[in-house]
Amino acid sequence: MPILAKICGLSTPDTLDAAVRDGAAQVGFVFFPPSPRHLGFEQAAALAGRVPGQVQKLGVFVDPDDALLDAAVAAGRLDALQLHKTSPQRSAAIRARTRLPVWAAVPVKTAADLTSAAALAGAADRILYDAKTPEGAALPGGLGMRFDWRLLQGHRHPMPWSLSGGLDPDNVAEAIGTTGATSVDVSSGVESAPGIKDVDKVAAFLKAVRSL
């Protein structure tokens, strides 16, 4: 089974095209103004028009309201929603209302954090294990932080899952080997500066995943 890779936080045509060309299974568009990767709706629509049908378009949100979701889904022609800092109850409501698959982020620092994934059964379709950011951090992810991947060894996952947090072209093979992940998600690890994707790093990351 090939390992699937998502390039998240894309914002320019050249980096989006690189992700598609080099084999990304999913691309992520961020709709969260505090993030350096935030997209306006017109920008998202223009990028979405470049994505071929076999590549999924995910919208990335932080506890969004319905108005934002509706506008973003329409603009980005989204295939799925990635939710951060969103309760299981709200995730379930969003999933039912939009009828789109939901990826629910689970921030991880210790083994105890993994237990929160169980509450997402029926509220999400996929878990995204990400590194827990420091208290008071402006962003829930995209900071290049990683957690101890060994925490996932032997863990019984309540649904399909993806690995995120601090991945880059140099460590993604180790991360997959340690965790057994079949789906990975990268953002800051393929950037030259916050919010600025690097075409060569995108290509290197996807090449590293393909080689496994």
- 25 SS3 class: coil
E strand or H helix that includes residue 191: strand 191-193
Burial class (CB in 10 A: 0-12, 13-18, 19+), 32: buried
The catalytic residue positions are 8, 130
Give the separation between CA 45 and CA 171, rounded to whole angstroms: 33
| Contact assessment for residue 161 and residue 127, using Cβ atoms and an 8 Å cutoff | yes
Cβ-defined contacts of 174-180 (< 8 Å, 24+): 174/149, 175/146, 175/149, 176/3, 176/209, 176/212, 178/149, 178/150, 178/152, 178/153, 179/149, 179/152, 179/153, 180/152, 180/153
DSSP-assigned letters across all residues of 32-65: -TTSTTB--HHHHHHHHTTS-TTSEEEEEEES--
